[in-house]
Amino acid sequence: MIIRKIQPQDNAAMAICIRLAITEFGMPKVGTAYEDPETDAMFEAYQGEREIYFVVEEDGEVVGGAGIKQLRDNKSNVCELQKMYFLPKTRGKGYGKLLFAKCLEVAKDFGYSQCYLESSPKFKAAIHIYELFGFKHLDKPLGSTGHYSCDVWMLKELKS
């Protein structure tokens, strides 16, 4: 297993991974990453300053990924952990924790002071990991992600 920066040839595999997980967990297709225009162009969507998307590759196959990007429509120094999804066959192997830790470390290196994320109660295992990493639940969303079907909002202070 390796974690590496996304490449253009990874777009299709990540789009499948994201949409498969959303469908598998019974999430709405509207108001989630399922219909997000970035989902089909992940490489292109993470080429700006202070943003990155990582994929997890196992035996030459892209099996998951996650990214860090400035939180949209938020004037504070807050990044967002975005589009963290894995194929079913790779869940439970610890890859999520490794990828999550790498994303948080890069967020600190980029100089962000806080990291925000959105999820759903249907992703219980992921929310448990977020809590273990020190994320706190919020009463309402921050910024304007466009993912209005997500109803779990969490925030973590990033310390250097």
Give the three-state DSSP class for 107: helix
Structure tokens at 39: 């989902």
Count of CB atoms within 10 A of residue 103's CB? Answer: 24
DSSP β-bridge partners for residue 56 = 3, 64
CA-CA distance, 7 to 65, in Å (whole number)?
A: 12
**Domain holding 32: CATH number?**
3.40.630.30
pLDDT in tens, the chain (160 residues): 999 999 999 999 999 999 998 888 887 677 767 788 889 999 999 999 999 999 999 999 999 999 999 988 777 899 999 999 899 999 889 898 999 999 999 999 999 999 999 888 888 888 888 999 899 999 988 766 655 566 789 999 998 5
Alpha-carbon distance of 91 to 86, in angstroms, equals 7
CA–CA separation, 78 and 145 (whole Å): 13
User: Is-contact 114 138, C-beta < 8 A?
Assistant: no
The structural domain count of the chain equals: 1
**Structural domain that includes position 68:** 2-157
pTM > 0.85: yes
Q: Which helix (H) or strand (E) holds 22?
A: helix 11-24
Tell me what pLDDT residue 45 has. Answer: 95
**R_g of the chain, CA atoms, integer Å:** 14
pLDDT at 146: 58
